[in-house]
């Protein structure tokens, strides 16, 4: 039986990853930050909990990692967590002799993006650079955009109250979409697959242009959404630059940077590795919106 160490276990994706690992018969050891009583209580009782922080001294973390076959990180945070913290986790994994580590990437094609395209992706690119040369094999799981996230009002793509679907670009660029549970399934598969060591695993539940996404939202929800084109890719780029210069809330332009990477095609995953894990039957966007917008949801 494989043992997988999960850092970020109390987060949205981490909890799902633990479920997916258990479904595959793996033993899970989870890092929970001291004081996170609620997060700890919500974990499956089968999980072995280790209290700590990925920024703890590497010697201490290494003891917690003893005997693990793989590490999955689903942490979220700034440079101190994504770069320094994950590098510290890697050093601990080296000391403990762990073979593989999946860092908290779970994004668009960050390997194809340039520095400056998406500030959050920059952190993950820098972390990947700092991992180079480690005897621990890195597997990066890239999954496109989470449907759960872009369905949130703050993302400004869909407004169910006013019945509007707002988009940038020409609407014809294919974009990768995945649900969080499907991403957790692929992540568990990759963690338990020695052949994924040192590879990028590119997966997507659905690949749709924004016109097709709009139709999938309407079919799934059974509701009409008036399309509203906000501008072209160049205008989106100018809007991001304007918001940055004006000192706007970084959240506003960070979300637009993700949108830009999607509608420009630069963040497109290619080729997709879905066939590598035929046991994962991903949810389509239409199915996702059927479930998410059903009266009982
Ligand atoms: N592709 C997409 O559209 C998309 C969308 C959203 C997220 N993501 C990615 O998915 C990944 C997971 O995101 P999420 O939404 O699951 O995040 P989340 O719910 O905020 O969870 C983050 C987890 O990291 C833990 N953590 C933070 N700092 C830590 C530290 N120093 N030491 C140990 N644990 C620490 C948190 O612990 P506490 O509970 O104690 O705070 C929590 O368990 C991230 O890489 C994120 O960028 C992708």
What CATH number is attached to the domain comprising 162?
A: 3.90.25.10
186 and 171 part of one domain: no
Q: Does any domain span residue 255? A: yes
* pLDDT for res 297: 82
Report the CATH number at residue 82. Answer: 3.40.50.720
d(CA 134, CA 90): 8
Ligand 1 atom with the smallest distance to the CA of 107 is 1
Residues framing ligand 1 (Cβ under 6 A): 7-14, 31, 33, 36, 39, 53-55, 74-77, 81, 85, 104, 106-107, 143, 145-146, 149
75 and 151 part of one domain: no
* pLDDT for res 153: 96
d(CA 196, CA 72): 13
CA triple 183-155-262, angle to 5 deg? 60
| Tally of domains within the chain | 2
Q: Does any domain span residue 297? A: no
Residue recorded with tokens 């479930």: 291
124-163 confidence digits (pLDDT tens): 999 999 999 999 999 999 999 999 999 999 999 999 999 9
Strands 100-102 and 137-138: parallel
Q: Does any domain span residue 40? A: yes
* pLDDT for res 11: 98
165 and 60 part of one domain: no
d(CA 127, CA 103): 9
Residue recorded with tokens 């590098």: 87
* pLDDT for res 40: 96
Give the residue among 36, 100, 26, 98 at the shortest CA–CA distance from 61. Answer: 98
List, as one string, the DSSP characters of 230-296: EE-HHHHHHHHHHHHHTT--HHHHHHHHHHHHHHTSTT---S--GGG-TT--PPPHHHHHHHHTSTT
Q: Does any domain span residue 22? A: yes
d(CA 21, CA 69): 13
Strands (E), 8-118: 27-32, 48-51, 70-73, 100-102
Q: Does any domain span residue 150? A: yes
Q: Does any domain span residue 57? A: yes
CA triple 220-223-225, angle to 5 deg? 105
Q: Does any domain span residue 128? A: yes
Q: Which domain covers residue 192, as residue numbers?
A: 3-142+179-202
Angle between helices 180-191 and 12-23 (to 10 degrees): 50
List, as one string, the DSSP characters of 82-102: IIIIHHHHHHHHHHHT--EEE
14 and 132 part of one domain: yes
d(CA 132, CA 150): 32
Name 30's bridge partners: 6, 49
97 and 121 part of one domain: yes
d(CA 8, CA 189): 18
**Radius of gyration, alpha carbons of the chain:** 19
125 and 226 part of one domain: no
d(CA 101, CA 198): 9
Low-confidence ranges of the chain (pLDDT < 50): none
* pLDDT for res 295: 86
10 Cα to the center of ligand 1, angstroms? 8
67 Cα to the center of ligand 1, angstroms? 24
Q: Does any domain span residue 31? A: yes
81 and 166 part of one domain: no
Residue recorded with tokens 């080296």: 94
CA triple 21-25-31, angle to 5 deg? 45
* pLDDT for res 8: 98
189 and 165 part of one domain: no
126 and 232 part of one domain: no
7 and 86 part of one domain: yes
295 Cα to the center of ligand 1, angstroms? 29
d(CA 183, CA 269): 14
66 Cα to the center of ligand 1, angstroms? 23
pTM: 0.98
136 and 43 part of one domain: yes
212 and 138 part of one domain: no
């Amino acid at each position: 039986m494989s043992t997988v160490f999960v850092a970020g276990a109390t987060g949205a994706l981490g909890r799902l990853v633990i479920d997916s690992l258990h479904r595959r018969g793996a033993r899970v050891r989870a890092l929970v930050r001291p004081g996170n009583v609620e997060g700890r209580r919500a974990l499956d009782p089968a999980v072995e909990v280790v209290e700590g922080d990925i920024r703890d001294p590497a010697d201490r973390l290494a003891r917690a990692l003893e005997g693990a076959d793989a590490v999955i990180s689903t942490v979220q945070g700034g440079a101190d967590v994504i770069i320094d913290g994950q590098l510290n986790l890697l050093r601990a994994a080296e000391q403990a002799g762990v073979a593989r580590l999946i860092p908290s990437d779970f994004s668009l094609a960050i390997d194809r993006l340039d520095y400056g395209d998406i500030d959050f992706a920059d952190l993950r690119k820098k972390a990947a650079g700092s991992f180079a040369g480690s005897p621990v094999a890195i597997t990066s799981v890239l999954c496109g955009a989470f449907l759960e996230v872009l369905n949130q009002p703050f993302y400004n793509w869909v407004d169910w109250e006013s019945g509007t679907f707002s988009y940038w670009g020409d609407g014809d660029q294919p974009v990768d979409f995945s649900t969080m549970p499907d991403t957790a399934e692929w992540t568990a598969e990759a963690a338990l697959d020695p052949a994924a060591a040192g590879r990028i695993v590119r997966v997507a539940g659905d690949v749709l242009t924004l016109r097709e996404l709009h139709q999938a939202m309407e079919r799934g929800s059974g509701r009409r959404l008036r399309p509203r084109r906000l501008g072209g890719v160049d205008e989106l780029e100018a809007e991001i630059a304007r918001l940055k210069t004006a000192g706007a809330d970084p959240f506003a332009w960070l979300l637009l940077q993700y949108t830009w990477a999607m509608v420009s095609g630069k963040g497109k995953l290619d080729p997709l590795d879905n066939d590598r894990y035929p046991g994962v039957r991903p949810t389509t966007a239409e199915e996702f919106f059927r479930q998410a917008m059903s009266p009982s949801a």
